Amino acid sequence: MSDRPTFPPEMDPLRLLSEMRLPMVDVEALASAQRRNLEALSAANRVALEGAQAIARRHMEILQQSMSEMTDAVRGASSGTDPQDRAVKQAEMVKASYERAVGNMKELAELIQKSNSEALTVLNKRFSEAMDEVRGMIEKK
């Protein structure tokens, strides 16, 4: 199967451009550049999707870990009979939970930033290449 997208005959960009008979325009080069643009956009979308999946997986792991820790903490906090001892354990549990939640939010934010950066890198690289191609086309003419 070809990597080239298929279009209905009346919408095929290469056919439409060639029918315009634009002077001094290399239709094949223009179509090739657009194909590379679409490939870069597709690659950036793939990177973003993979990043979103990694974030969702990590979020689920964090949720499962939090539920397990909360169950253990409730068991531990309810085991003491002294109300003051239970209050101290509960305060420690709340503090530890808060610190883990902040750390987890920071980790997820870093994963999101990394995924976005990777996707933008793909697009920026293609944009730079496209500008070089345009410059090359202009210099040919």
Q: How far apart are CA 132 and CA 130, in angstroms?
A: 5
Report the 3 state secondary structure along 70-131: HHHHHHHHHHCCCHHHHHHHHHHHHHHHHHHHHHHHHHHHHHHHHHHHHHHHHHHHHHHHHH
Q: How far apart are CA 7 and CA 24, in angstroms?
A: 25
Summarize pLDDT for 78-93 with one digit per residue, the tens.
Answer: 666 788 887 888 888 8
- Beta carbons of 34 and 130 less than 8 angstroms apart: no
Q: Is the pLDDT of residue 7 over 90?
A: no
Summarize pLDDT for 87-120 with one digit per residue, the tens.
Answer: 888 888 888 888 999 999 999 999 999 999 999 9
Q: Is the pLDDT of residue 1 over 50?
A: no
* Average pLDDT, integer, range 46-71: 92
Going from N- to C-terminal start, the domains of the chain cover: 25-140
Using only the alpha carbons of the chain, give its radius of gyration: 28
110, 141, 134: which is closest to 34 by C-alpha? 134
Query: In the structure encoding, which two tokens stand for residue 64, read together?
Result: 């499962």
Helix axes 13-20, 27-79, angle to 10 degrees: 150
- Mean pLDDT, the chain, rounded, equals 83
